[in-house]
């Protein structure tokens, strides 16, 4: 009788703790909808960092005082404005950024300030030269663009071309102005490692 009680207690402990042994190997219980399998997180897609949102008031995410560079596409949002950089292509004399600017406000119109646009390459990289180029003089997709509340504008935003063929990283700087005169600056950091630039 005493032996049966001891065996019952031991079996109950093993089942409750989830440490049931099978062929000498401890089997980890799988919890439904826990997001965990064998102790590792289940990640959507390939687990890459493409499409990471960077929502911060200044338009650039700071981590320990440094910008966080992420692979394309990159979406940054602040003050009811969302900017997505989808791709980059290089042409003779210009670099073009495939961009969507979305106005999330329900009452204010916004306008990109093209005169303030710039691109900085290899910022803060030891052994690599950093270069700053300005927005191109011709930007037909966003020139005099007024984006009403709840609408978006898609197109190519051009800068002058930089001299290095394959920068390791770059930052697209864009300023957007509201109809109340307030400006929102975005600094969108892009990780270019492994990126094949489109060329025309």
pLDDT tens digit sequence for 63-92: 445 679 999 999 999 999 999 999 999 888
How confident is the model over 93-117, as pLDDT tens digits? 999 999 999 999 999 999 999 999 9
Does residue 130 lie in a domain region? yes
Q: Which domain holds residue 72?
A: 62-199
> What CATH number does the domain containing 170 carry?
2.60.40.1230
Residue 3, pLDDT score: 57
| Residue 8 confidence (pLDDT) | 57
Q: Count of domains in the chain?
A: 2
The answer to whether residue 171 scores a pLDDT higher than 90 is yes
Domain check: are 9 and 97 in the same one?
A: no
- Whether 87 and 177 share a structural domain: yes
Q: What is the DSSP string of 108-141?
A: --EEEEEEEEEEEESTT-TTS--EEEEBPS--TT
Mean pLDDT of 30-47: 30
Assess whether 95 and 191 both reside in one domain: yes
């Amino acid at each position: 009788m005493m032996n049966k009680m001891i065996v019952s207690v031991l079996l109950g402990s093993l089942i409750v703790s989830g440490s049931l042994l099978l062929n000498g190997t401890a089997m980890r219980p799988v919890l439904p909808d826990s997001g965990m399998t064998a102790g590792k997180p289940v990640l959507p897609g390939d687990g890459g960092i493409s499409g990471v949102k960077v929502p911060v008031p200044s338009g650039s995410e700071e981590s320990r005082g440094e910008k966080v560079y992420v692979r394309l596409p990159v979406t940054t949002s602040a003050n009811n404005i969302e900017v997505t950089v989808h791709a980059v292509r290089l042409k003779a004399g210009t670099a073009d950024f495939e961009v969507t600017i979305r106005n999330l406000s329900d009452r204010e119109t916004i306008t990109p300030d093209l005169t303030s646009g710039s691109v900085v390459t290899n910022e803060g990289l030891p052994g690599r030269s950093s270069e700053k180029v300005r927005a191109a003089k011709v930007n037909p997709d966003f020139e005099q663009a007024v984006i009403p509340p709840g609408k978006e504008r898609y197109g190519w935003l051009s800068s002058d071309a930089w001299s290095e063929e394959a920068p390791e990283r770059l930052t697209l700087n864009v300023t957007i102005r509201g109809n109340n005169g307030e400006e929102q600056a975005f600094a969108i950091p892009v990780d270019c490692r492994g990126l094949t630039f489109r060329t025309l």
